[in-house]
Structure 1
Amino acid sequence: MIKVLIVDDDFMVAKVHAGFIQRTAGFTVVGAAHTGAQAVVETQRLQPDLVLLDIHLPDINGLDLMHQLREVAPELDVLVISAAREVETVRKALRGGIVHYLIKPFSQADLQERLDHYRSAYHGLDSSKDVAEQSDVNRVFGLDSATAQRPLPKGCSVETLRLVEGALKAADGDLSAAEVAEQLGTSRVSARRYLEYLHDEGLLEVRLKYGVGRPERRYLPKA
């Protein structure tokens, strides 16, 4: 479970964001802070994995606070959530090593998308293996979209690839090529071509289901 600390001067906003996070699988809110001084104390005490950090705090600029937080929790990751839109502010945040910058106001889906990426890319990279593949690094830097991968197989399209990925994410478990084909109205051969492509890119794992005849290949997104 990924532990999250929310740092926001607005009590109600922090509560809303906590609700968003608690509804995202794999994350738990361990606390909230409403000033920079309180954030340092809570970060040292709770040792969260991720801080959702507002920039406009009553006693310090959030970007300056970020360095103090990492002094008490060196492995801390930071996701900025702020109404600040100045380009220089965004640049400074990026130079500070944030995992993402989300401009207020935003929806639960907006935050969940960033949290899902963090879980699968940043957090997953720490524990998945000793040596990173290029596909692992690509995911950390947001280059895991179809346009950043190797060219699609002949006859395949980016639009259909996204539909296949969506079907897998929405599924309650693993899916076979036949099941994906039925959902999308494509042929089994076509569905399997997309699934094998995603598997080759390191985005899916394959489970074999044994029965009569050849084992069935079933596909599941990597955590």
Structure 2
Amino acid sequence: MTDRAIEVLIVEDDPRIAEINRRFTEKAEGFSVVGIARTGEEAVAWLEVMEPRLVLLDIYLPDMRGTELVRRIRGEGRDTDIIMITAAGETEIVQEAIRGGVIDFIVKPIQMERFLQTLESYRRRMERLKTSGTMTQQEIDRLWNRGMRSISPRPAAIREVPKGIDPLTLEKVKSVLRASPPPGMTAEETGKAIGASRSTARRYLEYLVSVDEAFADVSYGSVGRPERRYVLKSDGKSSPE
């Protein structure tokens, strides 16, 4: 084990997810959370003060994308390691992050076992690098291949989105649904929440239904008109009978 705990900065704007990440991190041996940043600029301030060894970085922040923060960290010459938290299917973002030096990925929805496995793999790599004054080609290959296996998205988890579905907009729709109280949201309500038209929102909502990530139910509004309301399945809710 390392001489001291690996200090971790969590960068996540959703307080609930940030707290989950904090609890998961503190379950891992040899890690300590030194701070939680809600925005990219707040993360930059934390990095200047605390200089953590590791950053757990969400892709979507209120003031910038996570990949932009990666570029700023690297541009300032910091040797902080970055593990990015991303949604399945965001292939272009993953490629951009790898080019920026992100060392690993955790795919949403986050599972504690996979989360802890990622941190354990990172800790072991750090220990190996610390104890090895020199490394043979075989040792470097073994170390590198272990890292590449952990960052390679599982084929079953990657889903190519069809033409007309933008991954960033899709993530916004999912975030809005995730935060909505029962009984879900209509296309009109979703459109207003993401700054898009009702028809655009409906296209994304119906796509989520088609890939079995959401379900829709019909209810009746205040004037008796039927409304189609959408709920994410990933929130532990199941489709109504």
- Please name the residue that 1:64 is paired with: 68
Count the aligned residue pairs: 144
Q: Which of 59, 74, 81 does residue 77 from structure 1 map onto?
A: 81
Give the letter for the 2:135 counterpart. A
Query: Is 2:74–2:100's contact at 8 Å kept on the other side of the alignment?
Result: no
Runs of 4+, deviation exceeding 4 Å: none
Give the unaligned 5+ runs of structure 2.
Answer: 148-241
Q: 2:45 aligns with which of 41, 46, 51?
A: 41
TM-score between both structures, scaled by the size of structure 2: 0.56
| Residue of structure 2 in register with 1:118 after alignment | 122
How far off its partner does 1:69 sit?
2.3
Question: Aligned residue for 2:32?
Answer: 28
Distance 1:143 1:103, change over 3 A: closer
> C-alpha displacement at 1:119, in angstroms?
0.8
Q: Percent identity?
A: 35
Return 5+ residue gaps in structure 1 as ranges.
Answer: 145-223
Aligned equivalents of 2:79, 2:139: Cα separation in 1: 19
Per-residue CA deviation, residues 117-144 of structure 1 (Å, 9 max, x unaligned), is 11111x1243112211334323432349
- The residue type paired with residue 78 of structure 2 is P
| Corresponding residue of 2:130 | 127
Q: Which AA in structure 2 matches 1:34?
A: R
Corresponding residue to 1:137 among 118, 135, 140: 140
Cα distance in 1 for partners of 2:65, 2:59 equals 6
Q: Distance in 1 between matches of 2:68 and 2:88?
A: 14
- Which one-letter code corresponds to 1:142 in the other structure? N
Q: Judging changes above 3 Å, is the alpha-carbon distance between structure 1 residues 84 and 55 closer, same or farther for their aligned structure 2 residues?
A: farther
- In 2, distance between residues paired with 1:120 and 1:136? 13
Taking a change above 3 Å as real, the CA distance of residues 53 and 60 of structure 1, as seen in their structure-2 partners, is: same
Which amino acid is 1:88 matched to?
E
TM-score, L = length of structure 1: 0.60
Partner of 1:97: 101
